[in-house]
């Protein structure tokens, strides 16, 4: 254990049945045993609590935790403290000016086995790297754990809640280890811990934020990037996922096997790779996606057998699908999905049926109101803001690519456009429509705000474009200006 | 071979290009289409609240693939054949200039006029895009222009090759148009058919398609804009996993090979032909 000359502070909450005198006596004994006498004099007595300031060099953090009585607040001053730590009673461990809790590179760094423990304001680093033991920076198996405003670095698993219901993980920054994705652990693993609140955390370079068998948990205001699955929910029901940013992961949010999910106002951007999805739904029932911006992913939403439960639906309302290679990729077994007021804007392919087939068993308009499609080519003669012709997605090339995915290589080639043109000109080739929106919107509906929006660099773009025009003009000028001198050169050569 | 003479001849080509109706027509068509595409893609720029260059870039790539080879092939095909037909080539070669200088001057002049035409088209469209916040990152746009220029050089070289082997401009342009059809449509359609009937493995499909400089341009442009080739399905993902960071170098090498090889062959033919 590291020795420190720093001042350690233990604030003791008065327990309701302990007398003030007993508290004072205990404190004096502890002080007398470990420290010079003059320190005891600085102990302050208030009506509510007894606070003692101790000069506690030569005392490890673990010893302070062991000394504390349940309900205490152990204030950890700045410095580097050796871990592992084990908290086995209700305590608050609070860092001042970011003390570093340094693990020894094996096992967990902080382990919590009691309920009502709060860990706040610490830098926790140096867990082991065993995926079998699932070495974590902070692991808790106590109810009502609060893990708040910590910085977790160089950890295999970041925060691991294992049968710790009603816990809060808030405002933490979690950085994983520099490992290939197959050897990383989960930045957040919430396992059998129902009603957990995960709020305003930032997570980078880990595997997943995983919610497993932890129903009624809420995920709000987080920023999860550069991992495998931004948020991964398995066998876990009734979740609210709100105002988060999921960016540059392999999959933004993956919902597997569960019922009751609300995804509202999230930004899901740049999630790419072989299975790059903004949102993946696999056998998920009763799902609502509302007001999400799903931008520049390989596939905006991938849906397989969702909803699974009969009598439930997957509802897409007021989402933006923009600039994805594929806006919506669905397996042909997808039914009872409902779409209203969504914007499908300039996706490479707006809707794709994976493996061929059609999606006609879904409601592409609800109550006579469909979605906005940027490639809609109809008209609105009766001026009710709803197109008079249905929007249909049918393209011979897209159909071909559905059954022969390798042909996507020719995406954006004029040859693939020629195929579609041929299909229009000679209807014998015309493919079956894969879906049809009977009431497409003429104007895109307004969207709610999501976090993480950045405007493009207009000034630089403008300068670059202007420079191109100037270059072109100066080349043309160079060709015409020096006619006289050129003749001169040629005649000089002739001479 | 002196740079001065080559530059003088290049200037002559530039001047001729400004008087060439084909060239003016292509340039105006390119500017017009680039503008129209950019304007149409702006419809959504406001809604996303986002720097997005997806569909605009895609349609620009599509436009480039159609019109730039047409422009470069026909201009290249005319270059030597037209002057020979008119008799001006004989006049030019009677001057104290070498054949290398004539060839290099012509190539440089036409390359610069293509660059000017691209600069105008992309530049004007770019101003419109930038003003309406429809453009993405400036680097992606500039690299798209650079790659388009390289593509135009490959087609210019092929055009020169056609020109060196024909004596009449009409024939040269005819062959150029057929080659355009082959590069843009027939090659890809044939490859698609082959892939379906023979069940080609993705790596063979990828390499066969890379023989076409247009496909090389397309993949390089997509790689610049998206940083991956996911868009191109299994073959694209295979290319990313197999070659990864080397892809850019590979694309550049293939493009340079398509620029240098036909141009060299054209020069050799031009040199040994001897006749005027």
DSSP assignment of B146-184 equals HHHHHHHHHHHHHHHHHHHH-S-HHHHHHHHHHHHHIII
Residue A135 and residue A10 in one domain: no
What's the sign of the alpha-carbon dihedral B189, B194, B199, B202?
negative
One domain, residues A203 and A243: no
**Residue among A276, A345, A417 minimizing CB distance to B48:** A345
**Interface contact flag, A472 B117, Cβ < 8 Å:** yes
User: Which of A410, A57, A429, A262 lies closest to B190 in space, CA to CA?
Assistant: A410
Residue B135: predicted pLDDT = 65
* Domain shared by A162 and A191, yes or no: yes
The alpha carbon of residue B184 is apart from the nearest alpha carbon of chain A, in Å, by 6
Q: Are residues A390 and A443 in the same domain?
A: yes
Say whether pLDDT at A492 is over 60: no
Shortest CA distance from B197: residue in chain A: A404
User: Within an 8 Å CB–CB cutoff, is residue B133 touching chain A?
Assistant: yes
Let me know if residue A457 belongs to a domain.
yes
Q: Is B94 on the interface with A (CB under 8 A)?
A: no
Residue A281: inside a domain, yes or no? Answer: yes
pLDDT at B141 over 60: yes
Q: In the listed set A198, A224, A250, which residue is the last one of a domain according to the structure? A: A224
Q: Which of A447, A472, A494 has its CB closest to that of B47?
A: A447
> A115-140 pLDDT, tens per residue?
999 999 999 999 999 999 999 999 99
Vertex A88, ends A151 and A118: CA angle to 5°?
35
**Band of the pLDDT at B174, cuts 50, 70, 90?**
very high
Shortest CA gap A458–chain B (Å):
5
In a domain, A358, yes or no: yes
Residues A206 and A232 in one domain: no
Find chain B residues with C-beta within 8 A of A408's C-beta.
231-236
Pair (A241, A284) in one structural domain: yes
Q: Determine the structural domain holding residue A21 and report its residue range.
A: 1-59
Classify residue A256: in a domain, yes or no. yes
Which residues of chain B does A352 touch, with a Cβ-Cβ cutoff of 8 Å? Answer: none
Reading the block at residue A405, the tokens are 């995915």
A212, A262: one domain: no
Give the span between the Cα atoms of A346 and A374, in whole angstroms.
Answer: 6
The answer on A53 and A75 residing in a single domain is: no
Number of domains composing chain A: 3
d(CA A60, CA A8): 10
Same-domain pairing of A308 and A446: yes
What pLDDT does residue B107 have?
93
For residue A483, pLDDT over 60 is answered with no
Is residue B237 less than 8 Å (CB to CB) from chain A?
A: yes
Are residues A89 and A173 located together in one domain of the fold? yes
3-state secondary structure of A191: strand
Identify whether A403 is part of a domain.
Answer: no
In a domain, A351, yes or no: yes
The secondary structure of A154-174 as a DSSP string is S-SEEEEEES-TT-EEES-EE
3-state secondary structure of A274: coil
Cβ neighbors of A309 (< 8 A, separation 6 or more) are A259, A285, A286
Are A352 and A470 found together in one domain?
yes
How many residues belong to chain A?
495
Q: Say if residue A46's pLDDT is above 50.
A: no
| Paired strand residues for A287 | A261, A314
pLDDT band per the 50, 70, 90 thresholds, residue B215 = very high
Tell me the residues of chain B between 65 and 84 that have a Cβ less than 8 Å away from chain A. 65-66
Is B215–A413 a contact, with Cβ atoms under 8 angstroms apart? yes
Handedness of CA A447, A453, A455, A456 (dihedral sign): negative
CATH number at residue A138: 2.160.20.10
Q: Which residues pair with A373 in a beta bridge?
A: A344
In a domain, A492, yes or no: no
A55 is a domain residue:
yes
Is the Cβ pair B61, A412 closer than 8 Å? Answer: yes
> What share of chain A has pLDDT > 90, as a percent?
53
Residue ranges of alpha helices (H) inside chain B are: 3-19, 21-41, 45-48, 54-86, 88-94, 99-131, 138-165, 169-181, 187-198, 202-210, 213-226, 233-243, 247-273
Identify the bridge partners of residue A170 per DSSP, sorted by sequence position: A148, A199
């Amino acid at each position: 254990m590291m020795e420190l000359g720093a001042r350690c502070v233990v604030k003791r909450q008065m327990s309701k049945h302990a007398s003030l005198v007993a508290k004072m006596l205990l404190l004096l004994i502890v002080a007398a045993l470990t420290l010079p006498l003059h320190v005891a004099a600085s102990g302050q007595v208030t009506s509510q609590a007894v606070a003692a300031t101790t000069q506690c060099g030569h005392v490890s953090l673990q010893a302070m935790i062991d000394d504390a009585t349940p309900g205490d607040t152990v204030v950890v001053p700045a410095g580097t403290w050796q871990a592992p730590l084990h908290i086995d009673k209700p305590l608050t461990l609070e860092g001042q000016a970011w003390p570093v809790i340094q693990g020894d590179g094996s096992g967990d760094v902080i382990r919590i086995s009691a309920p009502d423990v709060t860990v706040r304001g610490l830098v926790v680093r140096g867990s082991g790297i065993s995926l079998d033991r699932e070495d974590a920076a902070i692991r808790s198996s106590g109810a009502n754990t609060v893990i708040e405003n910590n910085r977790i670095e160089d950890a295999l698993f970041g925060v691991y809640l294992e049968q710790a219901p009603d816990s809060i993980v808030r405002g933490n920054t979690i950085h994983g280890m520099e490992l290939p994705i197959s050897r990383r652990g989960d930045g957040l693993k919430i396992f059998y811990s129902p009603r957990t609140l995960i709020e305003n955390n930032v997570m980078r370079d880990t595997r997943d934020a995983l919610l497993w068998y932890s129903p009624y948990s809420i995920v709000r205001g987080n920023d999860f990037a550069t991992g495998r699955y931004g948020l991964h929910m398995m066998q876990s029901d009734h979740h609210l996922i709100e105002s988060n940013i999921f960016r540059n992961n392999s999959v933004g949010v993956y919902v597997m096997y569960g019922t009751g999910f609300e995804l509202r106002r999230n930004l899901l951007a740049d999630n790419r790779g072989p299975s790059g999805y903004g949102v993946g739904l696999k056998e998920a029932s009763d799902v609502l996606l509302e007001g999400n911006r799903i931008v520049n992913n390989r596939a905006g939403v991938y849906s397989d057998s969702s909803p699974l439960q009969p009598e439930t639906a997957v509802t897409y309302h007021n989402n933006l699908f923009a600039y994805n290679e594929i806006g919506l990729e669905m397996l042909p077994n997808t039914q009872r999905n409902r779409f209203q007021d969504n914007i499908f804007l300039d996706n490479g392919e707006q809707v794709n049926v994976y493996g061929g087939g059609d999606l006609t068993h879904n409601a592409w308009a609800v109550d006579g109101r469909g979605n906005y499609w940027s490639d809609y080519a109809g008209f609105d003669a009766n001026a009710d803001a709803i197109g008079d012709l249905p929007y249909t997605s049918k393209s011979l090339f897209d159909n071909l690519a559905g059954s022969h995915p390798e042909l996507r290589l020719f995406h954006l080639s004029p040859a693939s456009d020629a195929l579609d043109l041929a299909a229009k000109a000679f209807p014998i080739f015309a493919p079956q429509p894969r879906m049809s929106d009977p009431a497409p919107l003429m104007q895109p509906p307004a969207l709610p705000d999501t976090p993480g929006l950045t405007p493009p660099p207009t000034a630089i773009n403008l300068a670059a474009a202007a420079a191109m025009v100037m270059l072109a003009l100066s080349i043309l000028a160079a060709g015409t200006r020096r006619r006289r001198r050129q003749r001169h050169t040629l005649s000089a050569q002739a001479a | 071979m002196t740079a001065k003479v080559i530059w003088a001849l290049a200037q002559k080509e530039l001047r001729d290009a400004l008087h060439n109706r084909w060239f003016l027509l292509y340039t105006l068509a390119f500017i017009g289409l680039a503008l129209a595409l950019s304007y149409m893609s702006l419809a959504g720029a406001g809604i996303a609240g986002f720097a997005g260059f997806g569909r605009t870039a895609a349609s620009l790539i599509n436009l480039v693939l159609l019109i730039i080879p047409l422009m470069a092939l026909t201009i290249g095909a005319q270059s030597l054949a037209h002057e020979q037909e008119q008799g001006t080539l004989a006049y030019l070669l009677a001057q104290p200039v070498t054949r290398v200088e004539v060839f290099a001057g012509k190539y440089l002049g036409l390359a610069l006029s293509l660059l000017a035409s691209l600069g105008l088209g992309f530049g004007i469209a770019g101003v419109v895009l930038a003003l309406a916040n429809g453009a993405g990152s400036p680097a992606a746009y500039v690299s798209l222009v650079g790659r388009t220029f390289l593509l135009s050089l490959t087609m210019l070289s092929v055009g020169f090759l056609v020109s060196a082997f024909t004596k009449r401009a009409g024939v040269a342009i005819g062959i150029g148009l057929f080659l355009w059809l082959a590069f843009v449509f027939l090659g890809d359609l044939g490859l698609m058919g082959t892939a379906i009937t023979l069940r080609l493995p993705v790596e063979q499909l990828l390499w066969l398609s890379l023989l076409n400089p247009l496909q090389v341009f397309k993949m390089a442009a997509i790689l610049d804009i998206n940083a991956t080739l996911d868009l191109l399905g299994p073959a694209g993902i295979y290319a990313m996993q197999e070659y990864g960071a080397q892809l850019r170098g590979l694309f550049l090498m293939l493009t340079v090979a398509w620029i240098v090889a036909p141009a060299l062959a054209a020069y050799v033919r031009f040199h040994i032909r001897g006749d005027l």
